[in-house]
Amino acid sequence: TQEFSVSNQNPIHGKMGRVPVGIGRRRMRIVVTGGAGFVGSHLVDKLIGRGDEVIIIDNFFTGRKENVVHLFGNPRFELIRHDVVEPILLEVDQIYHLACPASPVHYKYNPVKTIKTNVMGTLNMLGLAKRVGARFLLTSTSEVYGDPLQHPQKETYWGNVNPIGERSCYDEGKRTAETLTMDYHRGDGVEVRIARIFNTYGPRMCLDDGRVVSNFVAQAIRKQPMTVYGDGKQTRSFQYVSDLVDGLVALMEGEHIGPFNLGNPGEFTMLELAEVVKDTIDPSATIEYKPNTADDPHMRKPDISKAKELLNWEPKYP
Ligand code: NAD
Ligand code: UDP
Ligand code: UDP
């Protein structure tokens, strides 16, 4: 078990009675909403691994039991099938709020549900945090910058977002979730943290969830052409999931509210990404061009100076 100590500037928060977990720190009870999903399941592994108790709340819209089945039987692990749009009563010290479909294909599938999840789901988790005095972390997104007119994006940029487009349920939903988070902080004194996550890849992504890394990899393995949307010159910056999880934990345990960009500044066009997949999986892989989706951001690259300075965090993997 990895142990870590909480500094003096970071008083034990929450009202939960804690049991010792090692030198310098007591065991916490932590909720991870969306914990059966791609990012959430890796975060849960890290929290369980360091000795904490974890309760996952997930409705299995895009999450899977397979992602966490290795934890079944662990007495410090619980899994609740629950939709965060509905209230729930729990006693916890920290809440990592991830519940929300992240792939454009999934969040556009039922846009009203996506908004409900972002607004009512976030409201419920903030209400819970307020009632029990838990610290609350929101996983927001680089999509709050929309199709950005500043490059790279700094946290001070307010974004260029279409309020009535196909992506709005997600990006406006997350913007509202950020607003709620700050209003509960200012109005009710809830301890909050906001992460703006940039495109993330790694094991346990759904193979067919429509995001570009999993699409290209799945297509190359299946000997199908890799589908490049538009001219393929749009850019994204991809971070490996363990780097993100380290950043989320550093943010939760640190002293700063944020928002913080958590992403890898390495920027690639989709054509360059296709080349990487080709080199890695199948040199004979081909490309097929398809029309791009509406409001697709032309470029995206995080400025992570703030996270480097205040969280002492930066990605380790290219
Ligand atoms: P994911 O789709 O794999 O996981 C989301 C999880 O939330 C799933 O387990 C799903 O079943 C659950 N969920 C969805 N709606 C719910 C509801 N109403 N009630 C309960 N559970 C619900 O996505 P992910 O990539 O792991 O993303 C996790 C979080 O990180 C999301 O909030 C997403 O917006 C954010 N994020 C991810 C990325 C990325 O590149 N992966 C980028 C930016 C932001
Ligand atoms: N809530 C919850 N669990 C709790 C406390 C609150 O799900 O432990 C929900 C509650 O049902 C409400 C939301 O969180 O829908 C906001 O709660 P808050 O107390 O801030 O607002 P109010 O209930 O006064 O509208
Ligand atoms: N994309 C692509 N082919 C695919 C899937 C996506 O070219 O099969 C492009 C998409 O148009 C976008 C980028 O890859 O410009 C990233 O898309 P993704 O859905 O992974 O994430 P986003 O950053 O748009 O949320």
pLDDT of the chain, 318 residues: tens digit per residue: 333 333 333 334 444 445 556 566 889 999 999 999 999 999 999 999 999 999 999 999 999 999 999 999 999 999 999 999 999 999 999 999 999 999 999 999 999 999 999 999 999 999 999 999 999 999 999 999 999 999 999 999 999 999 999 999 999 999 999 999 999 999 999 999 999 999 999 999 988 889 999 999 999 999 999 999 999 999 999 999 999 999 999 999 999 999 999 999 999 999 999 999 999 999 999 999 999 999 999 999 999 999 999 999 999 999
What is the pLDDT at residue 208?
Answer: 85
Q: What is the DSSP secondary-structure string of 164-213?
A: TSTTHHHHHHHHHHHHHHHHHHHHH---EEEEEE--EE-TT--TTS--HH
Ligand 3: list residues with CB < 6 Å.
104, 199, 210-212, 215, 227-229, 234, 236, 270, 292-293, 296
Beta carbons of 193 and 137 less than 8 angstroms apart: yes
269 by DSSP, 3-state: which?
strand
Q: Whose CA is nearest to atom 6 of ligand 3?
A: 212
**In terms of Cα–Cα distance, which of 47, 250, 60, 237 is closest to 137?**
250
CA dist., res. 151 & res. 22, Å (int): 44
The amino acid sitting at 219 is Q
CA dist., res. 126 & res. 137, Å (int): 9
Which distant-in-sequence residues (6+ apart) come within 8 Å of 299 by Cβ? Answer: 148, 151, 234, 235, 267
61 lines ligand 1 (CB under 6 A): yes
What is the pLDDT at residue 25?
Answer: 80
Burial label for 29, CB within 10 Å (0-12, 13-18, 19+), is buried
CA angle 55, 57, 61 (to 5 degrees): 145
Ligand of minimum distance to the alpha carbon of 85? 1
Compute, in angstroms, the gap from residue 216 CA to the centroid of ligand 3.
10
List the structure tokens of 74.
């662990």
CA dihedral 63, 209, 214, 249 (to 10 degrees): -40
Q: Which residues are catalytic?
A: 170
Name the residue of 153, 212, 293 whose CB sits within 8 Å of the most ligand 3 atoms, as the mutation to test its pocket: 212
Beta carbons of 223 and 283 less than 8 angstroms apart: no
**In terms of Cα–Cα distance, which of 141, 153, 317 is closest to 235?**
153
What is the helix (H) or strand (E) element at residue 305, kind and residue range? helix 305-311
Beta carbons of 169 and 107 less than 8 angstroms apart: yes
Can you point out the beta strands (E) in the chain? 20-22, 25-26, 29-33, 53-58, 77-81, 94-97, 135-141, 192-197, 200-201, 226-229, 235-237, 239-240, 260-262, 267-269, 287-290
What is the pLDDT at residue 12?
Answer: 42
Which distant-in-sequence residues (6+ apart) come within 8 Å of 131 by Cβ? Answer: none
What is the pLDDT at residue 209?
Answer: 86
Whether the complex's predicted ipTM surpasses the cut of 0.85: yes
